[in-house]
Structure 1
Amino acid sequence: MSGNCIFCKIAKGEIPSDKVYEDELVFAFKDISPQAPVHVVIIPKKHIKSLSDSAQTDKETLGHIQYVAGKIAETFPQLQNGYRVINNCGSDGGQTVFHIHYHLLGGRIFGWPPG
């Protein structure tokens, strides 16, 4: 974990969050500025700057995040008809916190392209 990273601090419990899920590899919490009726942020506990900075050794954790996203979605009745999982990579991709994270969004109909 990185000492100055807000998501590392959330995962360690140093900054309060509305926790949705936690296991040995990942931590998930409700977004403080939701963009949909359900908006959960899923992070690895290990600090990885972005998808582009992930290593071969991170593939278990990154795959686990995908699995966990599906399991979390099952706990929200509003997501039974579908949801979206998003990873923003780099500044041009919309990443604002440089600790890899995934947004689980749902509870409304989404358009395409996403914008």
Structure 2
Amino acid sequence: MTNDFYCDEVLSGNTPVDKVLETDNVLAYYHTKPSYPVHIVAIPKHHISSLITLEENDNQLLLELFDVIKKVAAMVTEAKGACKVITNLGDYQDSKHLHWHIISGKALKS
């Protein structure tokens, strides 16, 4: 098991998602198990392990990813007044696929 929810489940179509914004190389969708009232995830459509494993040939993809993150963050900020954009690394990164969380509101109790 690769511990890559995004490749194994989302991008493969095994887990359906509610899309927010999609380009040829990037997908932003509502988190399947949200921790915040607004919890959107943005991912590249091909596997990159994390922010610190990006290579020079990923620069164009990274620009496209950040353009999607910027647009989604602007939509959330317009609707809710504020948002946070977060990525995790190392042990904080549950799924070993580069992803960014766009969140707004107080954390939901689990």
The count of aligned residue pairs is 104
| Corresponding residue for residue 96 of structure 1 | 94
Q: Secondary structure at the match of 1:75?
A: helix
Q: Which of 38-47 and 16-25 deviates more? A: 16-25
Q: Mind listing any 5+ residue stretches in structure 1 that lack a counterpart?
A: 111-115
**1:105 CA drift (Å):** 0.6
Looking at structure 1, the residues matched to 31 and 41 of structure 2 have their Cα atoms a distance apart, in angstroms, of 6
**1:10 CA drift (Å):** 1.0
**1:5 CA drift (Å):** 3.3
Q: Does residue 76 of structure 2 align to residue 78 of structure 1?
A: no
Q: Which of 4-13 and 37-46 deviates more? A: 4-13
Looking at structure 2, the residues matched to 47 and 56 of structure 1 have their Cα atoms a distance apart, in angstroms, of 15
Identity score, percent:
34
**1:74 CA drift (Å):** 3.4
| Corresponding residue for residue 103 of structure 2 | 105
Query: 2:74 corresponds to which letter in structure 1?
Result: E
Q: Mind listing any 5+ residue stretches in structure 2 that lack a counterpart?
A: none
Query: 2:45 corresponds to which letter in structure 1?
Result: K
Q: Per-residue displacement from partner, 1:40-96 (whole Å, max 9, x unpaired)?
A: 0100001001111110111221222222112123334433x22111010111xx100
Looking at structure 1, the residues matched to 10 and 106 of structure 2 have their Cα atoms a distance apart, in angstroms, of 30
The higher-RCO structure (CA 8 Å, 6+ apart) is 2
Answer whether contact 2:3 2:96 (CA < 8 A) is retained. Answer: no
Q: Secondary structure at the match of 2:29?
A: strand
Which has the larger share of helix? 2
Q: Secondary structure at the match of 2:71?
A: helix
Q: Secondary structure at the match of 1:74?
A: helix
**1:4 CA drift (Å):** 7.3
TM-score norm. by structure 1 comes to: 0.77
Q: What RMSD in Å do the two structures reach over aligned CA positions?
A: 2.2
